[in-house]
Structure 1
Amino acid sequence: MVEKIRMNTPLVEMDGDEMTRVIWQMIKDILLTPYIDLKTEYYDLGLKKRDETEDQITIDAALATKKYGVAVKCATITPNAQRVEEYNLKQMWKSPNGTIRAILDGTVFRAPIIVDSIKPFVRTWKKPITIARHAYGDVYKDVEFRVEGPGKAELVFTSESGDVSRQTIHEFRDAGIILGMHNLDKSIESFARACFNYALDQKQDLWFATKDTISKKYDHRFKDIFQEIYDNEYKEKFAAAGIEYFYTLIDDAVARVIRSEGGMIWACKNYDGDVMSDMVATAFGSLAMMTSVLVSPEGNYEFEAAHGTVTRHYYRYLKGEETSTNPMATIFAWTGALRKRGELDGINELMGFADKLEGASIKTIEDGVMTKDLAELSVAENKRIVNTEEFLKEINKRLVEMM
């Protein structure tokens, strides 16, 4: 029996919902606890517990991440009206990811998990594309209002000294909707520096894209802050590293990225990054083959799967049916967190274990053993479709050989 790897500092463990919650436990049982004396501070971010605690548990989990420095998070439900009814919720709680990101004020970096036998749908792409997503403000911290009838909507700002600025948004003649969004210079500055530092670390070009021609104040502020920080702090460093930074309109960026060979970091505002990371992941093969890490300005890290809770499979699982759900993104959330914990605490064995587990996971797919979603994408000649538990056990076989 292999002696278990010891941990000094706990990971913040955020459990989630539905099928991903089931897979979460399977990964721990089959791939982690046999090899690691796993230390975690556990927070149940399942929808029922969030409702029971008035969402305080989500705030507590984010604050614990600030305390310990590294977290790993399972996929969670962001409730809509149908979920409120299904789970009998007190209210339509906000996105837990949005809450955590607002508290940590970080940047989310998402990149595809590359497997040789799964070819990108965009034939020009030869290298991974990393999406850097601002993780504060915009629609995730918005204020919304349903207009029931005629009236005037205004944007009003009252300064601390009492000066009032007032602008008309729209004069409604009938029913409609209003949305108010905000962002902070300080948060945008953190976002810019995180992107520039990550580009230097990866030695990759950095693109930044918004729509400043239409949003002449909101989006333009992002553009200006990026340019100021680049010119004052990073221009010479980028030149020395042989990489470049440039700004472009987001519609132009979409066209350029499709024609590129990949290999760049593409920085986007919050919602843009959400959409574009899904597009990039899907074009590389699958949302279930995407790594995601939130990096805060203070150097805190939260690793998660970039996909949802796989509701359709969960309903089948509840009926006792077998599912072939892809656990790769959740495995890589754990390996990312364990590697970072090992790096921060100086535990080489923990870092080495994370590398081996990722290697065993990719080798399993390369050997032709995979879940149903990947079998539909893979060009491997001899494919064997397995259910989720079998797939994890196949990874474990290869992990044992590597250990």
Structure 2
Amino acid sequence: MKKINMINPLVEMDGDEMTRILWGIIKEELLNPFIELKTEYYDLGLEHRNETNDKVTTLAAEAIKKYGVGVKCATITPNAERVKEYNLKEMWKSPNGTIRSILDGTVFRAPIIVDSIKPYVRTWEKPITIARHAYGDVYKDVEMKVEGKGKAEIVFTDENGKEKRELIHDFKDGGVILGMHNLNKSIESFARSCFNFAIDTKQDLWFATKDTISKKYDHTFKDIFQEIFDAEYKEKFKELNIEYFYTLIDDAIARVVKSQGGYIWACKNYDGDVMSDMVATAFGSLAMMTSVLVSPDGYYEYEAAHGTVQRHYYNYLKGKDTSTNSMATIFAWSGALRKRGEMDNNNELIEFANNLERASLQTINEGYMTKDLALLSDLDNVKVMNSKDFIKEIRIRLEKIYNN
């Protein structure tokens, strides 16, 4: 077939460990044979982040602002062990956190549904999309250990030097203190991203916090969502026959478990982190979860929802066979290419993204899959594939689509 042309590039962010290996195989087998791939490349592998003092991460985020679309491989967020292993200059921050702060976006995560893999929650028939606020809370907290007696306070000093104080606790003995913050502007962006995504996908939107306990922090989220909905989105939701409603997060969990799925569940930053893992696992696997960061300014960054698959990578380095699931990374590429096509009115590129997903799902439904999926599949005759051969099986079906 004649290769599909791209009009504008997308931002490509390479990553670490086993997902970096899969990244190269996906490009070699599923992208370059079919597309004249145009990307602006940034190496976010930990070694290169260390060499550039992590400036490369900021450059990649700014490039997404320039081109509108990016696709990112999974990356290492270093801990003390990684600092030693990679001989790092310092414990660099999460690349995802840096990119999210620069783009001011909301992370939407949804499971990849496969016919032959049934959810653990028997009522779930449609995907549940988690909308995770990508700023603040414990991810930008300030922590302190307290030794002995003393008084802890929150102190806010305004620009005129006037202080406002709230007592946290009068300590009689040792303990710990955690301070969190958020920004009205960021919450407003989060709300608009959620409402816009609901309109784009024509799905109901649920939002849940714990405002009965957190009467100022969580209540501010609730109030901002409601004010923006009433002022800007209420009529459009009514026109599309979709619903927005707020509930307490414990009530939301009860509703979610009993539901059929097919809606967006908006959560604060940490809640979204936890609930997206729960939803992914209950639908089958973290390796079967899409993730897209949507900015209120119209920027999109696609990635896999899982990590770098460290254990498989160490086996790979020893020359051992690995059976690593690449579906989330493939769908990150298909999502980014589809969005690039939509922005450029490039129907061939949109069709390719759809066909890539179709070929990937067809491969699994025909019994060719990685080991993690084989353990979940309802099929009788399953062929467990190694990492590269699974991607090659997808290529066979993708070629058939274009040759027919």
Rounded Cα–Cα distance in structure 2 between residues aligned with 1:89 and 1:112: 35
Alpha-carbon offset, residue 358 of structure 1: 0.6
Q: Could you tell me which residue of structure 1 aligns to residue 314 of structure 2?
A: 315
Structure 1, 85-94 or 24-33: larger mean CA deviation: 85-94
Find the aligned partners of 2:148 and 2:345 in 1 and give their Cα distance.
62
Q: How much has 1:240 moved relative to structure 2?
A: 2.1
**In the TM superposition, what is the alpha-carbon distance from 1:44 to its structure 2 partner?**
1.2
Is the contact made by 1:102 and 1:137 (CA closer than 8 Å) also made in structure 2? no
- Displacement of 1:71 in angstroms is 0.3
Q: Which residue of structure 2 lines up, in the alignment, with residue 184 of structure 1?
A: 183
| Structure 1 position 53, deviation (Å) | 1.8
Give the secondary-structure state (helix, strand or coil) at the position aligned to 2:280.
helix
Does 1:9 find its partner at 2:8?
A: yes
Within a 5 Å distance, the mapping from 1:288-303 to structure 2 comes to: 288-303=287-302
The residue aligned with 1:83 is: 82
Q: Which moved more, 1:281-290 or 1:228-237?
A: 228-237
1:224 is matched with which residue? 223
* Cα displacement string for residues 341-385 of structure 1 (whole angstroms, at most 9, x for unaligned residues): 111112111111111111000000010000000000010121100
Task: Report the counterpart of residue 329 of structure 1 in structure 2.
Answer: 328
State the Cα distance separating 1:339 from its structure 2 match: 0.8
State how far apart, in whole Å, the 1-side matches of 2:39 and 2:73 are: 14
Residue of structure 1 equivalent to 2:60: 61
Q: List runs of 5+ in structure 2 lacking aligned partners.
A: none
Instruction: Give the distance between the partners of 2:98 and 2:251, measured in 1 at CA.
Output: 31
Distance in structure 2 (CA, Å) of the matches to 1:17 and 1:148: 40
Report what 1:234 is aligned to.
233
Alpha-carbon RMSD across the aligned residues, in angstroms, is 1.4
Aligned residues: 402
The Cα offsets for residues 188-216 of structure 1, whole Å up to 9 and x where unpaired, read as 11111111122122222111001111111
Is 1:44 the counterpart of 2:43? The answer is yes
What is the SS of the residue equivalent to 2:113? coil
- Cα deviation for residue 136 of structure 1 reads 1.5
The corresponding residue for 2:121 is 122
Of stretches 136-145 and 308-317 in structure 1, the one that deviates more from structure 2 is 136-145
How many angstroms apart in 1 are the aligned matches of 2:54 and 2:371?
A: 35
The corresponding residue for 2:266 is: 267
1:314-345, Cα deviation, whole Å (9 max, x unpaired): 11111110000000000000010011111111
Closer, same or farther in 2 for the Cα pair 1:383/1:226, shift >3 Å? same
Alignment of 1:284 onto 2:315: no
* Unmatched 5+ stretches in structure 1: none
* C-alpha distance in 1 between matches for 2:58 and 2:155: 29
Partner of 1:381: 380
Q: Using the TM superposition, give the Cα deviation of residue 175 of structure 1 relative to its aligned residue in structure 2, in angstroms.
A: 4.3
Q: In structure 2, how many angstroms separate the alpha carbons of the residues matched to 1:141 and 1:103?
A: 14
Cα gap change, 1:385 to 1:166, in 2 (>3 Å): same
Residue 257 of structure 1 aligns with which residue?
Answer: 256
Matched residues, percent identical? Answer: 74
Q: CA deviation at 1:89?
A: 1.9
Distance 1:353 1:27 in 2: 14
Report the Cα distance in structure 1 between the residues aligned to 2:205 and 2:171, rounded to whole angstroms: 42
Equivalent AA in structure 1 for residue 359 of structure 2 = A
Deviation at 1:80, TM superposition (A): 1.7
TM-score after normalising by structure 1: 0.97
Partner Cα separation in structure 2 for residue 237 and residue 158 of structure 1: 41
Deviations 1:133-166 (A, max 9, x none): 1111212222333445554333221111221112
Q: What one-letter code is carried by the residue in structure 2 that aligns with 1:49?
A: H
> Given the alignment of the two structures, is residue 367 of structure 1 paired with residue 363 of structure 2, yes or no?
no
